[in-house]
Amino acid sequence: MDQLTTLHASRLRRLQLVGVASGFTAGAWLGAAEAPTKMVTLGIPPVVISLVMVLGVFLARWSLPALLRGSAAIGADVREAPHLVIWAILAGCLWAVANTLTVFAIRDIGLSIAFPLWNANSLLGIVWGFLFFNELRGAGWPRWLGVLGGAVLMFVGATLLAVVSSTQAPSGHALRGVVAALTAGALWGTMYIPYRKAYLTGMNPLSFVTFFTIGELIMMTGLALSDQGGVTPLVAELTRAKAVIFWLLCGGFVWVIGDLFQQYAAKYIGISRGIPLSNTNQLWGLAWGILVFGELKGGGSGVYARVIGGSVLMALGAVAIAVATATEREHERWQEAGRREGERYGIDPAYVQSAMTGETTHPAAQRRSWLDWVVVLGATAVFVGFATVAQVPHLALNWSAMVGLVAASLALLGGAGWALWRVTGFN
Amino acid sequence: MGVKGEWGSGGVGRGRLTAVLGDPQFWVPVIVLIAGLVVLRWIS
């Protein structure tokens, strides 16, 4: 087990920087994922919205890994640590239930209040990271202060943003909405236990998500069938929604890009830091809402002061966490947790070590086959098919703001993707 | 607690399943998932 040696300081620093960049990029893309869902007109059951988004997620989670790494490499990963298939499916089930709860929460208390409530998942992530995976152990009080203080700052900032439009929240069922949002946060915060377990043991995030999405689809289909009362009513509801299915699929696809970066953040900086950084998605969601969709238009100066104040607090919290990267001593404690996982599940220590340091575990397997191209083309065909029957809703959009936000998101994607490729080869 | 046997041969065998079920950390997300389903049932 001594093969798990201490990482070279400069390599560790590079991995941490890549993790931080991934966290911020995740925030941008997870925030942007809300934009396509705004195209959806009212009247579609929440569970059906969630199911179609999950279908988009499923298509993206099979096609993107096939394109970036190839299914042979995914198969090789699974053969090294097959128990992670169970963990991935469990994480997918948690995600599906949480996502459905958020749709109910948005309906009952509005996005602006629901968002910060479920983003409290970062505080839970810190608890699980500390308790189960040795995160922040031996980190020293400045880093504790950075992570915990940053997470609290982000929570306060998020709450301030929520207060801004609380008067616009839909009436009735407030308690139900709050419970739904907090439960979604608990599910998402706990979902990071499987994530961290997988990455401490060495699994590639691109492999993990392909099995994760099976859990999502199974759970979501079950929920939708149960909610709609069988296959026939569900199909009828989907048929009625066919004009907006494309937008929901797009929402799912954009979400997956954000989630992939979130996975890399969880791998390289841990869940206690990765989750809060990904939670900057609230800032991006707000930027889309205010700048592109004209939300809060006509609000007084007090409204905008609270928006700016809350955003600054969230940004300061994110910066505090970003600079509180793990020390070599803390990283040794992570490796201890990795050794424990390896011993429990009997995984080759060399595999754990190479994967933890972001090195290629199966160089020969990283080739695309005809199967990968079939998956990519199939997923593309589904998107194109629904695009042909999609209707563009009449929305007043600020196109220049939209171009700016898309350009910023693409710049983050390109920068973080390039860094990930250079430092880890997407491992 | 470790799993003995044919690691690397593919599939999720009984030994691996036992290892997962014997991992105390496994039951935390399972319990949270069940709680989530109960809340979802109540809400919808």
Chain A residues with CB under 8 Å of B35 CB are: 183, 186
Q: What radius of gyration, in Å, describes the C-alpha atoms of chain A?
A: 21
> Which residue among A46, A80, A187 sits closest to B32, beta carbon to beta carbon?
A187
* Chain A closest-CA separation from residue B24 CA (Å): 10
pLDDT tens by residue, A280-307: 887 888 788 788 877 777 767 777 787 7
Three-class SS of residue A290?
Answer: helix
pLDDT tens by residue, A25-37: 999 999 888 776 6
* Chain A closest-CA separation from residue B34 CA (Å): 9
pLDDT tens by residue, A382-394: 999 999 988 877 7
pLDDT tens by residue, A354-400: 766 766 655 555 677 888 888 889 999 999 999 998 887 777 788 89
Whether A97 and B33 lie within 8 Å, measured CB to CB: yes
Cβ-proximal residues to A17 (8 Å cutoff; 6+ apart), any chain: A325, A419
Q: How far apart are CA A357 and CA A217, in angstroms?
A: 31
Q: Please choose, from the candidates A47, A48, A306, A29, the residue with its C-alpha nearest in 3D space to the C-alpha of residue A157.
A: A306
Whether B39 and A180 lie within 8 Å, measured CB to CB: yes
Whether B4 and A186 lie within 8 Å, measured CB to CB: no
> Which residue among A94, A132, A227 sits closest to B32, beta carbon to beta carbon?
A94
The arithmetic mean of pLDDT across residues A58-86, rounded, is 83
Q: Nearest residue of B to residue A344 by CA position?
A: B2
Q: How far apart are CA A297 and CA A81, in angstroms?
A: 52
Chain A residues with CB under 8 Å of B19 CB are: 83, 344-346
Whether B32 and A186 lie within 8 Å, measured CB to CB: yes
Q: Nearest residue of B to residue A177 by CA position?
A: B43
Q: How far apart are CA A112 and CA A232, in angstroms?
A: 35
Whether B29 and A79 lie within 8 Å, measured CB to CB: no
* Lowest mean pLDDT segment, chosen from A167-171, A189-193, A285-289, A334-338: A167-171
